[in-house]
A and B are shown apart, each in its own frame.
Chain A
Amino acid sequence: MAEPYLVVEHLTKVYERGHVVALKDVSFEVRKGEFLVIIGLSGSGKSTLLRCINRLIEPTKGRIFIDGVEITKLSPRQMRKFRRRIGMIFQHFNLIKRATVMTNVLTGRLGYNPTWKTLLGIFPRSDRELALRNLERVGLLEKAYVRADELSGGQQQRVGIARALMQEPELLLADEPVSALDPATSHSVMQYIEQMNQEDGVTVLASLHFLSLARRYGTRIIALKDGELVFDGAPEEIDDRKFKEIYGEEAEEVEIR
């Protein structure tokens, strides 16, 4: 087997405010090209874990390596540069609502362009062309000059994916990318993410709420419970007993098709 692409070692995160231990000594490895799904109850620390990996949140303890680089040691400036290689999409899409889809997608190139030009809204022709190609890819070419808040939820998430694609990332972090969408739309969005994973070879880390989605798209699953890693294995390995361990005795599995 090749070198692992992402290594998380003894990661701990304590939120000073409220004294919450959101992650407790979490360790795991991800190989290049994997589609890793993170499951766990609300408040189990999924979002915190994903945000530690691109250091939107500073870990309290532990080390994270990406492609051999210890990113927990990078200076803020180096980290900014490194983030270009890590795309991220969000549950609530987090688009600039008043701006056009085009502007939103172009923000994916901010890290690649000189600051003063981007402050004036100037992006090179090559970036604009790339933006159109990526919009075509997610099926939104004709919406390029529409305001982002005029799109449906599913369309907004596809803009989010196009924005991430602009970074030409090697790693995609997806924090509950389909939790705000209906089942049918969920699948269409998940398929775009799957496409990134399979065609562009982007390693994906996605937190999902539905186990059925996790089984359908994940090549591997890890589970968090109260900030601790309680499962790490293949989707098939999650049987009834494991399920109850992760979600509690009361839980019932629900299907989403």
Chain B
Amino acid sequence: MATRGDRAAVDRSRWDRALDFLYFGSKALGKRLSLALLDVGAVAVLWILTSYVVIRVSTGEIGYTLLPWWLVALGAVEAAALWESFGRSFGHRVARLELRRADGGDPALRQKLVHWLLWHVGVIPVLPLLLAPPPHERASGLTLRPFTMEGRIPRPWWRTSTGLYMAYLALVSIVAAVSGTITWEDLVRLFTNAGATAKFWRSFLSPDTSIILRTVQALIVTVFMAMTATAFAVLVAVPLSFLAARNLMRGLIGRAIYTVIRGTMSIIRSIEPVVWAIFFLVWVRVELAPFAGVLALFVHSVSDLTKLYAERLESIDPGLIEAITATGANRLQVLRYAVIPQIVNPYISFTLYRWDINIRMATVVGVVGGGGIGQALFFYLKGNLWTQAGTVMLFIIALVWAIDYLSARLRAKLA
């Protein structure tokens, strides 16, 4: 508690100094005016957001207020006056102030009323604020004091008026964001137009048996794409991971290599496999579709696996390395008996996990022309061949489910 109070004290003086600077060095003017501006601003933001949501939802148009602007401004000012007089307003909280009686006691209702009424006279024309204390405070006998927790039961902020305000603000902002992206018609269609997908569902239920052989072939191509990409990725990622492990790459040159590899890998990883597939399709030509898909998955897998492997290497227990080194073992022996035992299972586990991802990715990559089942699906969808597309999708679902299950089981065994 003590440290919290100290910090508050520091922050308070910093605020004071900043406010003084902004308002010509007049403490009374600066403090009250900035409080009023903060509160009016806060209320106005809330008002505008609320209006936006209401207008958007009810009329579908974009508008910020149903009332004339002068009325909005007046309303905001009035709300701020009430907030500052009867509660601890947003501005009070920001500046860590509170309204107290001169003797430090809780304000009486009568004092609050006086404070509120004279607030209009004292704050709106601004000039009376140059008096210290300003008229509304002089008449009500209330002053703004640094907020203290002394002799008070702390209440969590979300149970205060500001907490309510923040919650409301968050809610309205979310609604505003949603109403900005989804129109009323969209929603109506979502709930009334489900029938349009009927042909889609029907096709699921009546698979086209004549294409099963072709589909299974494409499925095998997809699995092979994933396998090939994963296998080659492992070959590259395992050695790279040692160069990308911070604890193994000591010294200036080591650190430089580490940084370059980690950096490159995160850039590669941040580009979607689909994008890589398009890139490689352009490079190796469309006739070699599965090959382009494999290359895309390979590149992405290398970067992903290198990172996963390297992170595992970074968390190995250095104690075992010490122990094996202490027997007189050389570097290769330390690698074989202290490092590898700690990483084999995690490496295999990561590889399975990546293979699992690659099968799903291979389908997606296929859609842009990367070969395999994805390409078949795309072909049927493009031709409005719903029955065939549905059949292909059934196979994809079965495959993904099976691989997911298999790899999860294997990984559980390895853990």
A positions within 8 Å CB-CB of B: 51, 54, 56, 80-84, 86-88, 90, 92, 94-99, 107-112, 115, 118-119, 160, 163, 166-167, 173
Question: Which A residues touch B324, using CB under 8 A?
Answer: 107, 110
Question: Which A residues touch B332, using CB under 8 A?
Answer: 115, 119
Contact B333 A118 (CB under 8 A): yes
Main secondary structure of the interface of B (DSSP, over half): helix
A-B contact pairs, 21 of them (CB 8 A): A56-B325, A82-B328, A84-B327, A87-B327, A90-B322, A94-B317, A96-B338, A99-B341, A107-B329, A108-B327, A109-B327, A110-B324, A110-B337, A115-B330, A115-B332, A115-B333, A118-B333, A118-B337, A119-B332, A160-B323, A166-B327
B329's partner among A87, A90, A111 (CB-CB below 8 A) is: A111
When C-beta atoms are compared, the residue in chain B nearest to A79 turns out to be: B328
CB distance from A216 to the nearest CB of B (A): 26
Contact B336 A119 (CB under 8 A): yes
Complex CA gap A110/B324 in Å reads 8
Contact A86 B326 (CB under 8 A): yes
Question: Which B residues touch A97, using CB under 8 A?
Answer: 341
When C-beta atoms are compared, the residue in chain B nearest to A112 turns out to be: B328
Complex CA gap A82/B328 in Å reads 7
Top 4 closest pairs, chain A to chain B, by CB: A111-B328, A94-B323, A84-B328, A83-B328
When C-beta atoms are compared, the residue in chain A nearest to B323 turns out to be: A94
Complex CA gap A138/B408 in Å reads 41
Question: Which B residues touch A163, using CB under 8 A?
Answer: 323, 327
Complex CA gap A96/B324 in Å reads 9
What is the 8 Å Cβ interface bit string for chain B, positions 309-334, against chain A (1 contact, 0 not)?
A: 00000000101101111111110110
Contact A167 B345 (CB under 8 A): no
Question: Which B residues touch A98, using CB under 8 A?
Answer: 341, 345
Question: Which B residues touch A108, using CB under 8 A?
Answer: 327
When C-beta atoms are compared, the residue in chain A nearest to B317 turns out to be: A94
Contact B345 A80 (CB under 8 A): no
Question: Which A residues touch B330, using CB under 8 A?
Answer: 80, 110, 115
CB distance from A156 to the nearest CB of B (A): 12
B positions within 8 Å CB-CB of A: 317, 319-320, 322-330, 332-333, 336-338, 341, 345
Contact B338 A83 (CB under 8 A): no
When C-beta atoms are compared, the residue in chain A nearest to B344 turns out to be: A98
Question: Which A residues touch B323, using CB under 8 A?
Answer: 88, 90, 94-95, 107, 160, 163
A88's partner among B326, B341, B345 (CB-CB below 8 A) is: B326
Most buried by A among B325, B329, B345: B329
CB distance from A77 to the nearest CB of B (A): 8
CB distance from A112 to the nearest CB of B (A): 8
Complex CA gap A173/B402 in Å reads 53
When C-beta atoms are compared, the residue in chain B nearest to A54 turns out to be: B326
Question: Which B residues touch A99, using CB under 8 A?
Answer: 341
Contact A119 B333 (CB under 8 A): yes
A90's partner among B319, B327, B337 (CB-CB below 8 A) is: B319
A96's partner among B326, B329, B341 (CB-CB below 8 A) is: B341
Question: Which B residues touch A90, using CB under 8 A?
Answer: 319, 322-323
Complex CA gap A95/B327 in Å reads 12
Question: Which A residues touch B338, using CB under 8 A?
Answer: 96
A83's partner among B317, B325, B337 (CB-CB below 8 A) is: B325
Contact B327 A167 (CB under 8 A): yes
Question: Which A residues touch B325, using CB under 8 A?
Answer: 56, 83
Question: Which B residues touch A92, using CB under 8 A?
Answer: 319
Question: Which A residues touch B328, using CB under 8 A?
Answer: 80-84, 110-112, 167
When C-beta atoms are compared, the residue in chain A nearest to B322 turns out to be: A56
CB distance from B333 to the nearest CB of A (A): 5
Complex CA gap A80/B336 in Å reads 16
Complex CA gap A108/B325 in Å reads 10
Complex CA gap A54/B323 in Å reads 11
A-B contact sample (5 more), CB < 8 A, given A95-B320, A98-B341: A80-B329, A84-B328, A87-B327, A109-B327, A110-B330
Question: Which A residues touch B345, using CB under 8 A?
Answer: 98
Question: Which B residues touch A111, using CB under 8 A?
Answer: 327-329
A110's partner among B319, B320, B333, B341 (CB-CB below 8 A) is: B333
Say yes or no: A96-B337 contact (C-beta < 8 A), given A80-B329, A88-B326, A110-B327.
yes
CB distance from A140 to the nearest CB of B (A): 17
Contact A94 B322 (CB under 8 A): yes
B327's partner among A107, A115, A119 (CB-CB below 8 A) is: A107
CB distance from A89 to the nearest CB of B (A): 8
CB distance from A24 to the nearest CB of B (A): 23
Contact A56 B326 (CB under 8 A): yes
Question: Which A residues touch B317, using CB under 8 A?
Answer: 94
When C-beta atoms are compared, the residue in chain A nearest to B329 turns out to be: A110
Complex CA gap A98/B322 in Å reads 17
Question: Which B residues touch A54, using CB under 8 A?
Answer: 326
Complex CA gap A88/B332 in Å reads 20
Question: Which B residues touch A166, using CB under 8 A?
Answer: 327
Question: Which A residues touch B322, using CB under 8 A?
Answer: 51, 56, 88, 90, 94
Most buried by B among A81, A87, A118, A173: A118
Complex CA gap A25/B332 in Å reads 35
Complex CA gap A208/B322 in Å reads 19
Complex CA gap A112/B329 in Å reads 9
Question: Which B residues touch A84, using CB under 8 A?
Answer: 327-328
Complex CA gap A166/B327 in Å reads 9
